[in-house]
């Protein structure tokens, strides 16, 4: 090990993480689309940006968020103290798909159980957005 580092001058490097490997054609297509969008922005200005809708999905965990302090209530001093039982947070979660523009959330859609997010699902969701 000392010879590799000291004599040969080698060092360990970690690979840089990238989301996905893009081919030259994919990179060229992204550059073409970026230029096209830039041209549209130069012609239409801020109005063009307002037309852009972005979407993303995330898991949302559902549970009863009420804390002991949130359940406080006014009572007479002689009244028995109310009880708050601890509950286990629900292990359930649901997929939320949200779409928004530069001003507001346009659509929030919860995915049904046992449903996969794929191109057909996006088409169905975006079709609902047009209505």
Token digits for 28? 């060229």
Same domain, 114 and 59: yes
Separation between Cα atoms, residue 130 and residue 122, nearest integer Å: 12
How much is the pTM?
0.52
Q: Are residues 44 and 86 both part of a single domain?
A: no
Contact 95, 82 (CB under 8 A): no
Give, in order, the Cα–Cα distances in Å from 16 to each of 19, 20, 21, 22: 10, 11, 12, 15
Residues 42 and 81 in one domain: no
Q: Does a structural domain hold residue 2?
A: no
pLDDT in tens, the chain (131 residues): 565 666 666 777 677 777 778 899 999 999 999 999 999 999 999 899 888 888 888 888 776 556 666 667 777 677 777 776 666 655 677 888 888 988 899 888 888 777 778 888 888 887 876 66
Give the pLDDT score at 112: 78
Q: State the pLDDT at residue 28.
A: 96
Please check whether residues 58 and 106 belong to one and the same domain: yes
Which CA distances in Å does 123 have to 66, 69, 119, 128? 37, 44, 6, 9
């Amino acid at each position: 090990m000392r010879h590799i580092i000291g004599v040969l001058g080698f060092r360990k490097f970690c690979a840089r993480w990238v989301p996905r490997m893009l081919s030259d054609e994919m990179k060229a297509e992204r550059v073409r689309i970026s230029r096209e969008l830039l041209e549209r922005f130069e012609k239409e200005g801020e109005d063009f940006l307002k037309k852009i809708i972005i979407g993303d999905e995330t898991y949302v965990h559902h549970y009863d968020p009420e804390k002991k302090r949130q359940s406080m209530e006014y009572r007479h001093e002689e009244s028995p103290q109310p009880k708050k039982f601890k509950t286990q947070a629900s292990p359930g979660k649901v997929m939320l798909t949200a779409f928004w523009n530069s001003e507001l959330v346009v659509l929030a859609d919860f995915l049904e159980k046992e449903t996969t997010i794929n191109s057909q699902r996006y088409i169905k969701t975006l079709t609902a957005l047009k209505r």
